[in-house]
């Protein structure tokens, strides 16, 4: 499991560009936050939601579930806004064919070269009385240079936000009041967190939904470690499914992950060389996993396992990867 050093960041510093951590290529940022927030914080987060999110929140029967949804949705908006450089309420979302959310910046500018976007001193084509074409400069009043400079800076800022919005990837998970948010540039990813629960009936669930390799590995472990192993397996499988964006269209038994506590994280799947798998501990008594699209160069010469998974590629381990995970504890 990847060791974590959680850096605490207060929500009121998210708009401070000098304090907010920049997201670099090859990095994955994982944030954790409690979904139990004070009423004034909940009101602030609720104000950032769009009409569809507010309607969904209103459909929850229990206030606790409604408040947790508002908190997670609002925190996601605040984090995305900090990465992109806009207001949280300006964030807009798209959905993939299977429902995976992606980011679309509100009011994104059209694809125009900023170098040709000036409104001043444009050359226009007119016709002289004889019908001959000629060029001349349009007569315009002298521009306000200060206003033009502000306009140009605003235009470039919109282009910068649109570029960031097109590159950032994110995913969200929550369990029993704890939310996790994962972000990366130009790499698909999925994250999952679960509270580890004893006497959960994990062995029976595993026999129905896990792959034969996973069931065999789980049953080979001492009984006292099986609850942790079950949730390690579950979070890793969920992270893979969410990263691919296919939802339940992927059979849980069609791929395998390692699950022995303390052993390296491994994915066994036909496209395993595309992914990098890491587990982390979001909080005492919880398991977490993130699946991240690997760099293009890492997809060559995949390894394989022997036994029942012979010929099935496996993902690289943390020791074999240059992927950098950074962990942040958000205090709303």
Q: What is the pLDDT of residues 178-195, one digit of tens each?
A: 999 999 999 999 999 999
Token representation of residue 292: 């991240």
Of residues 28 and 199, which shows the higher confidence score?
28
Whether the pLDDT of residue 83 is over 50: the answer is: yes
For all residues of the chain together, what is the average pLDDT? 82
State the Cα–Cα distance between residues 159 and 169, nearest whole angstrom: 18
Whether the pLDDT of residue 291 is over 70: the answer is: yes
**What is the pLDDT confidence band of residue 317, given thresholds at 50, 70 and 90?**
low
Coil, helix or strand for 46? helix
Nearest to 29 by CA among 123, 169, 175: 169
* Helices (H) then strands (E): counts for the chain: 7, 16
Of residues 320 and 139, which shows the higher confidence score?
320
Of residues 279 and 303, which shows the higher confidence score?
279
Q: Looking at residues 206-211, what average pLDDT do you find?
A: 95
Domains in the chain, please, with CATH? Answer: 6-37+170-331 (3.90.470.20)
Q: Could you please report the per-residue DSSP string of 186-254?
A: S--EEEEEEE--TTS-HHHHHHHHS-HHHHHHHHTS-GGGHHHHHHHHHHHHHHHHHHHT-GGGS-GGG
Whether the pLDDT of residue 155 is over 70: the answer is: no
Of residues 15 and 44, which shows the higher confidence score?
44
**What is the pLDDT confidence band of residue 239, given thresholds at 50, 70 and 90?**
very high
Whether the pLDDT of residue 238 is over 90: the answer is: yes
Q: Report whether 243 contacts 292 (CB < 8 A).
A: yes
Of residues 175 and 153, which shows the higher confidence score?
175
Nearest to 70 by CA among 174, 154, 141, 162: 174
Structure confidence at residue 248 (pLDDT): 77
Q: Looking at residues 210-239, what average pLDDT do you find?
A: 97
What's the predicted TM-score (pTM) here?
Answer: 0.80
State the Cα–Cα distance between residues 83 and 130, nearest whole angstrom: 58
Structure confidence at residue 149 (pLDDT): 53
17-30 tens-digit pLDDT: 778 999 999 999 99
Cα distances (Å, whole numbers) of residue 221 to 191, 267, 288: 25, 19, 20
Whether the pLDDT of residue 135 is over 60: the answer is: no
Token representation of residue 72: 């997670």
The region of weakest confidence among 2-6, 239-243, 273-277 is 2-6
Structure confidence at residue 246 (pLDDT): 85
Which long-range contacts (C-beta less than 8 Å, at least 24 apart) are formed by 204-207?
205/230, 206/230, 206/233
Q: Report whether 49 contacts 57 (CB < 8 A).
A: yes
Whether the pLDDT of residue 35 is over 90: the answer is: yes
Whether the pLDDT of residue 73 is over 70: the answer is: yes
Structure confidence at residue 100 (pLDDT): 87
* Residue 32: strand pairing partners: 180, 329
- Reported residue count of the chain is 332
Q: Looking at residues 60-65, what average pLDDT do you find?
A: 97
Token representation of residue 31: 């944030």
Structure confidence at residue 151 (pLDDT): 52
Name the percent of the chain lying above pLDDT 90.
62
**What is the pLDDT confidence band of residue 323, given thresholds at 50, 70 and 90?**
confident
Name the percent of the chain lying above pLDDT 70.
75
Of residues 233 and 300, which shows the higher confidence score?
233
Q: Looking at residues 166-177, what average pLDDT do you find?
A: 96
Structure confidence at residue 99 (pLDDT): 83
């Amino acid at each position: 499991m990847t060791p974590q050093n959680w850096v605490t960041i207060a929500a009121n510093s998210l708009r401070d560009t000098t304090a907010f951590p920049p997201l670099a290529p090859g990095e994955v940022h994982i944030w954790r936050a409690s979904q139990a927030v004070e009423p004034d914080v909940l009101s602030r987060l609720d104000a950032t939601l769009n009409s569809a999110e507010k309607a969904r929140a209103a459909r929850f029967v229990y206030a606790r579930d409604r408040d947790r949804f508002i908190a997670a949705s609002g925190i996601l908006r605040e984090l995305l806004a900090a990465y992109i450089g806009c207001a949280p309420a300006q964030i807009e979302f798209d959905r993939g064919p299977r429902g995976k959310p992606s980011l679309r910046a509100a009011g994104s500018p059209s694809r125009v070269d900023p170098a040709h976007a000036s409104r001043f001193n444009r050359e226009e084509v007119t016709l002289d009385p004889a019908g001959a074409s000629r060029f001349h400069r349009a007569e315009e009043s002298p521009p306000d240079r200060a206003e033009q400079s502000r306009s140009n800076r605003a235009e470039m800022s919109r282009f910068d936000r649109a570029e960031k919005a097109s590159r950032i990837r994110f995913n969200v998970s929550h369990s029993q009041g704890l939310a996790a948010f994962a972000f990366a540039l130009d790499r698909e990813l999925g994250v999952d967190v679960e509270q580890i629960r004893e006497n959960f009936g994990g062995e029976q669930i595993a026999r129905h939904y896990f792959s034969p390799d996973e069931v065999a590995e789980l049953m080979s472990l001492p009984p006292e470690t099986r609850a942790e192993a079950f949730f390690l397996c579950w979070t890793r499988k969920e992270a893979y499914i969410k990263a691919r964006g296919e939802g339940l269209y992927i059979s849980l038994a069609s791929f395998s992950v390692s699950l022995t506590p303390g052993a390296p994280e491994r994915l066994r799947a036909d496209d395993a060389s595309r992914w990098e798998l890491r587990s982390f501990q979001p909080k005492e008594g919880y398991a977490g996993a993130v699946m991240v699209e690997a760099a293009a160069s890492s997809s060559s010469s995949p390894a394989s396992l022997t036994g029942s998974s012979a010929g099935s590629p496996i993902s690289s381990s943390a020791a074999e990867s240059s992927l950098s995970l950074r962990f942040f504890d958000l205090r709303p």
